[in-house]
Amino acid sequence: MTHEERHQGDPSASVLAALPDPVVVLDDHARLIWANQRAESRFGWSAADLRGRSVAHLAHPDDLETALASLGSVADKEVGSLVELRLSDAAGGYAWFEVRGSRWDAGPPGSVVLVLREMTDRRRWELARGDTALLGAILDAAPTMHLLLGREGNVRGCSRAVTRVLHRPLDVTVDRPFLDLIAPGDRLAVSAVMESADGTTGTRTLEVELRTADGSPVPVQLTFVDLCADRVVQGIVVAAVEIRALVEARAELEHRALHDDLTGLPNRRLLRRAIEEARDGSRDGGHTLLFCDLDGLKRINDRHGHRSGDTVLAQVAGRLAGVVRAEDLVARLGGDEFVMLLPTDDRSVIDGLRQRIDDALAAPIRLADGADVQVSVSVGEAPVRREATVDDLLAVADAAMYEAKRGRGERAGAAEGRS
């Protein structure tokens, strides 16, 4: 009579016998005292053969310590930790199982119920199906760099992608500090992640720059997996994915968001940001705004078309950018309006720039139809004051520009009257 037959009146035993996974019961000496029918068929032993067999006869020698430690821990809690073990069948072959145990208070004192879930089916879906040599070959061929770090932060191992991407030989990378690969400006952030790893921090991600053998920067996304508490790994697994294309795309998008499409100059958004920084970070009078309005653009648009007007705006923008200093900012506010932000209130510097603006626009601009047109700008000036808003500062400079434009018109009318 089988053990199942002897326990036909025990509903719990009937349930255990019907489970699709092998289920066994161990006594307090780690010996099998019961097994369901699935365990008999999977391992090739009858229930009678299994009874009294020690777990030491079933577990792979390299996994025996893990098995015994796990069994010992079940006594202190209702459900034990999930462990992976290699277990032997009657033919002497080993297969991987996920094993979880729990106390069986209804059985003999100290007995434990183990549920064994075979991992063979699951590994059909894994990349290397448990083949470590195949897994190593796949990792070496992958474009992602994989590294294993020790608790102290040294590289214990890495994939060949490190050589392909960073041009660093593996023999001079392994056993060296991982921080040696990191750009100096990013080392503090990386060091903080590594120092916090204690087996509980999970996964962390950073975007940093690595350095090639010749010091060239390589932007990457680093993913740190904290496996310091894992008995097999006992370290940090790092995956590094090169993100140069992503960084360049972000930079392009940011440039477009902050620059004028037609002229390439900083746009209103970037100008306002620069004025705010100048206002908040300097003494009163430390910066000056020049508000420049193009004279005669409407006449050019009406006579030659808006495409010619765009040509004039682009030409004027280039000339204005060519006369400012490296520390000055020239932006297109919109339409035919340009604004310069100067980090100075020195009268001679400002007057010198205004003269260079007039000189730069003295030469005519050649249009696509071959016509030459002459333009000028009216310039208004305003000091940057800490208590004023950005809109207030621009309004003051704009009003000064219109005053200058009226003065220019009055002088032009007087000159016509004398001629």
Which residues are tagged catalytic? 336
Three-state secondary structure of the chain: CCHHHHCCCCHHHHHHHHCCCCEEEECCCCEEEEECHHHHHHHCCCHHHHCCCEHHHHECHHHHHHHHHHHHHHCCCCECCCEEEEEECCCCCEEEEEEEEEECCCCCCCCEEEEEEECHHHHCCCCCCCCHHHHHHHHHHCCCEEEEECCCCEEEEECCHHHHHHCCCHHHCCCCEHHHHECHHHHHHHHHHHHHCCCCCCEEEEEEEEECCCCCEEEEEEEEEEECCCCCCCEEEEEEEECHHHHHHHHHHHHHHHECCCCCCECHHHHHHHHHHHHHHCCCCCCEEEEEEEECHHHHHHHHCHHHHHHHHHHHHHHHHHHCCCCCEEEEEECCEEEEEECCCCHHHHHHHHHHHHHHCCCCEECCCCCEECCEEEEEEEECCCCCCHHHHHHHHHHHHHHHHHHHHHHHHHHHHHC
